[in-house]
Structure 1
Amino acid sequence: MASTSASISTTVPLLLLLLLLSAGTEPSLAQDTASTSVSASTSTSVSASTQLPGTYARGVELVLQQLNSHASVQHHFLFFRTVTKSDIQSGFGVKFVHHHFLLKPTVCPKGSAASDAPRCPFRNDRPLMDCTVCYKLFGDEMESSPKPYVHCIQKPKLTQGMRASRINHCSKMSYSSGAPTLLAVST
């Protein structure tokens, strides 16, 4: 009986492994100290930008649109991960958003309509694109004034001066409009 349970416990992970391989994913085996288990981790997971709240996803979409329209950018990029994000509630439905994130090149050609990782797997032979975007939202809509700030550069080329400039620009943008205040007038 012990040999039967041992063969079942090793057969189930092997079946799972075979199913993962037939599905075209890249499984990784994880050894647990209590028991043997298989966990699937793929380099082509569901696009991370779909997991972002709408507030931040709008900024990522704006950056991707500008990157795809730029002549010197040669690769198709997808959202990889957030470095930092913040928003300042200014009152009356106004919000200033600052999002620092990384984009990763994919194997798809530039201008490709595919916007998710399963159809366009990430490349590991090109540097990440380090991006910062700052913009004003009124309700759920991005405002054109002040003009949204977008700055992207390949991660190895990013300097401390550029980082400071990004932060300075975004800070000025959020404080330039001033917080709306109500004044009490006595008669």
Structure 2
Amino acid sequence: MAVVLLLLALICGAFSSSEAQTDFDKLPESHRKGIELAVNQINSHRTIQQHFLFFKSLEKSDIDAGFGAKFLYHHFLLKPTTCRRGTADANHSKCAFRDDRPVIDCGICFKTFNGAIEETPKPNIHCVYKPTLTQEMVTNRIDTCNKMSYSSGSASVLLVKTNKN
């Protein structure tokens, strides 16, 4: 019986992992670049033991600032995998998601110019384990992103074209 349950768990893990990869592939390239920034930052932390990958997009928005510039905001979840941190070429097909660890809730906002992430203003990446996320943290995350887009004279990135998934 234990073998059947283990096999079922592995099949479900592989399915949810491939589904997350499909969702990632459907995102616009600029949003994928932002996720990659956050994933690289999380996976570079010394205290992180598992390799984290994109799991689910919760909310995204962008505003066209004109002349090839855009401000983007993306709220998404990262989930730990069975792979150890630092695994070379870790991807969804090699690293199944773990369900025994909390997800990381991320909010990222950044400016792109002709599809490339700009260094100024510096991208704001705010990621925290979901159980410790507070409403104050969410409010600060949103305020920081709004200030980033207002500094250029643009409308708020969180008030324009919000797409909830």
In which range does the TM-score fall when normalised by the shorter chain? 0.7 to 0.9
**1:72 pairs with 47, 50, 56, which one?**
47
- Check conservation: 2:43, 2:51, Cα contact below 8 A: yes
Deviations, residues 38-59 of structure 1 (Å, cap 9, x unaligned): xxx8233152322221010000
CA distances 1:63-98 after superposition (whole Å, capped 9, x unpaired): 111112121222210100011000011111110000
The two structures, once aligned, show a CA RMSD in angstroms of 1.9
The aligned runs of 1:14-163 (5 Å cut-off) are 26=11, 42-46=15-19, 47=21, 48-163=23-138
Paired amino acid for 1:129: I
Amino acid at match of 2:11: E
1-structure distance, mates of 2:59, 2:17 = 23
CA distance in 2, matches of 1:172, 1:115: 35
One-letter code aligned to 1:158 = L
Structure 2 residue aligned with 1:165, among 117, 133, 140?
A: 140
Q: Deviations over 1:115-171 (max 9, x none)?
A: 422210000000000001100000111000000000100000000000000000000
**Aligned partners of 2:83 and 2:90 also within 8 Å:** no
Runs of 4+ in 1 over 6 A off after TM superposition: none
Return 143-152 or 170-179, whichever deviates more. 170-179
- Alignment check: 8 A CA contact 1:131 1:152 kept: yes
Q: TM-score, normalised by structure 2?
A: 0.81
Query: Any unmatched runs of 5+ in structure 1?
Result: 1-20, 28-40, 180-187
Gapped regions of structure 2 (runs ≥ 5) = 1-6, 155-165
Structure 2 Cα separation of the partners of residues 77 and 51 of structure 1: 19
Distance in structure 2 (CA, Å) of the matches to 1:55 and 1:61: 10
